[in-house]
Amino acid sequence: MTLDNSCYGNAAEDQQGQNYDRSFLEENHSYRDMLSTLDTCAKKMGVCWDDYLPLRYPERELTVSIPVEMDDGHIKVFVGYRVQHSSVRGPCKGGIRYAPDVNLDEVRTLAALMTWKCALVNIPYGGAKGAVQCDPGKLSSRELMKITRRYTAMILPLIGPEKDIPAPDVNTNSQIMAWIMDTYSAFQGFTVPEAVTGKPIEIGGSLGREEATGRGVLFTINQIARTKGIDLKKASFAIQGFGKVGRTIAQLLYQEGYRIVAVNDISGGIYKEEGLDIADLSNHVRENPSHLIEGYKAEGISSITNQELLTSEVDILIPAARENQITEDIAKDVKAKIIVEAANGPTTPEGDQILNEKGVVVVPDILSNAGGVVVSYLEWVQNLQALMWEERKVNAFLRKIMEKSFQDVWELQEQKKTTLREAAYMLALERTIKARKIRGTFP
């Protein structure tokens, strides 16, 4: 680390920073938690406060209202957000989630996580995130399309291939990305595939993007197993979440011949000591109108609660649902030796501390789930050049990036005698601070 060790805290009494902290952080727990990890790392690295301070703030935030004529003819107004945390290393990048309980604090936090994730895997992007407060399960496809198109129109001043590039996240998919791309293009007057990633293949999506997050998690699991000398054929896995990401991970692990003993989703969980038939379960979920595990029947399975899944006797636990799942209470009872975070922010800081004290190895989200944004980057690169790569090439690139990032983080955690999470944040912070210093402060 080349940054000045004596520098940290020089301006710790920074007035603006303190004001920002007071007015905002008390109410915004999730952003506060993210900052506390970041502050700890900045302090340990001994970075200069003046270099670090601007990175504690999101650069730009937009809250929009989205009036939509519903199928019954009435108008409903939805709330949407787009937060750009940092454009220091390149255009902002990050997904859009649809959820009834999403708020600005969550979007801010996720935008910052994108900054650190992109810096960690060293792709030339900053971080952003967007969201619409809605429950897609209660909307018709037509209503979903209208919300998406109006939301896109409302955030139009912020997005664009050279400014900020959206992608899928929780409850959004390639169809929604297609509507965003189409709406953006309609305003430009020509087709702009590179405005959005995670699109259907037919309109410029990349082969391998759909499975990219899951594949990245698989590469991470292989890396940790290799590093720690674990025989994955003998290991057992539990996966929380059987949506886009959780299901792909389960399928990829199953194809490798690994034993997945527990999975769940919002409809409930199932357990089988000898290992679940993931192909059969995936068929059930695909054909089930609700696309949930509910109603699945197979020999030897028993049902388990979410808490039982998170604390089950397994070697590797993969949280692949939402944030704040592994709390202090859960962490105390976690029996897995390794946790690979596939969701964004699944572990609370209190939970994390307990896991560290117990010696559980936690591979942090910004490392293990970076596969999605890595292949988003490859999609954007293909679009910019009007090229279409073979899936083999995409997967090979993804593998190289994931393996290199894992190695970098592993080496730093050994060198600094810290956790993988802190090492990952340190690397990301170092790269972002360096970029900022080179660019300088305008004016």
Site string for ligand GLU, 219-258 (x = CB under 6 A): ----------------------------------------
Q: Residue 214, interface with ligand GLU (CB under 6 A)?
A: no
Interactions with ligand GLU, residue window 320-349 (CB under 6 A): 344
Q: Are strands 164-168 and 92-99 parallel, antiparallel or unpaired?
A: parallel
Sheet architecture: strand order including 126-133: 60-69, 75-86, 126-133, 92-99, 164-168
What tokens appear for 334 in the block?
A: 């976690």
List 376, 383, 413, 432, residue binding ligand GLU (CB under 6 A): 376
- Residue nearer to ligand GLU on the CB measure, 311 or 432: 432
Q: Which of 54, 139, 127 is nearest to 89 (CA)?
A: 127
First to last CA, the chain: 28
Residue 255 CA to its chain's centroid (Å): 24
| Out of 169, 341, 352, 430, the residue judged to bind ligand GLU by CB under 6 A | 169
Report the nearest approach of ligand GLU to the CB of residue 155 (Å): 15
How far apart are alpha carbons 435 and 119 in whole angstroms? 10
Site for ligand GLU in 71-100 (CB under 6 A): 93-95
Smaller CB separation from ligand GLU, 236 or 369? 369
Strands 164-168, 126-133: pairing kind: unpaired
Enumerate the active-site residues.
129
Name the one range near ligand GLU by CB under 6 A: 131-139, 246-254, 321-329, 372-380.
372-380
Cα–Cα distance between 283 and 43 in angstroms, integer? 49
Q: Quote the CA–CA distance of 177 and 193 in Å, as a whole number.
A: 10
Query: Can you say whether residue 319 is alpha, beta or left, with left for phi > 0 and alpha for psi between -120 and 50 degrees?
Result: beta
Residue with tokens 């690994």: 258
- Nearest distance in Å: CB 133, ligand GLU: 17
Distance CA 37, CA 353 (A): 11
Closest approach, Cβ 125 to ligand GLU, in A, equals: 8
Choosing from 30, 115, 197, 347, the residue that interacts with ligand GLU (CB under 6 A) is: 197
Least Å distance, CB 172 to ligand GLU, is 8
Residues 120, 167, 340, 412: which binds ligand GLU (CB under 6 A)?
A: 167
Which positions lie near ligand GLU, rule CB under 6 A? Answer: 93-95, 167, 169, 197, 344, 369, 372-373, 376
